[in-house]
């Protein structure tokens, strides 16, 4: 599940970088950031899809990480975080950043709605 979060995070990073480059290009040309209503809808839909993907990735990774911290009581799987305490803390921090990224994508979607209301 952690590899799913890494993959989703990489896709979101690529999407965000492309949005940044396109927005910068439009600002340098001194033209409108959103060129058409169709463009605004595409941005809105992609922000929504990536926000939900980040939420699902973070949720899946947090469940696995919780099991690694506590162990599984009715099986022979040990508590993996006792010997790997700093690694588990870093994983927890990355999951927190995934949820923060989801929040930022939700805010971007809200801005897309504002742009759509202007068209």
Domain ranges of the chain: 2-118
The pLDDT of residue 30: 82
Radius of gyration over alpha carbons of the chain, in Å? 19
Number of neighbours of residue 72 by Cβ within 10 angstroms: 11
Q: Who contacts 12 (Cβ-Cβ below 8 Å, separation ≥6)?
A: 50, 53, 54, 101, 105
The pLDDT of residue 46: 92
The pLDDT of residue 34: 75
Residue 57 has pLDDT above 70, yes or no: yes
- Report which of 65, 60, 57 is spatially closest to residue 81, judged by C-alpha positions: 65
Place of tokens 């508590």: 79
């Amino acid at each position: 599940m952690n590899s799913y979060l890494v993959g989703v995070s990489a896709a979101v990073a690529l999407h965000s970088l492309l949005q940044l480059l396109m927005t910068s290009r439009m600002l340098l040309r001194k033209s409108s950031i959103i060129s058409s209503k169709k463009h605004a809808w595409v941005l809105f839909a992609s922000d929504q899809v990536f926000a939900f993907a980040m939420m699902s990735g973070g949720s899946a990774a947090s469940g696995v990480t919780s099991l690694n911290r506590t162990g599984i009581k009715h099986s022979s799987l040990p508590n993996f975080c006792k010997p790997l305490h700093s690694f588990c803390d870093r994983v927890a921090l990355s999951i927190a950043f995934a949820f923060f990224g989801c929040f930022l994508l939700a805010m971007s979607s809200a801005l897309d709605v504002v742009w759509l209301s202007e068209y």
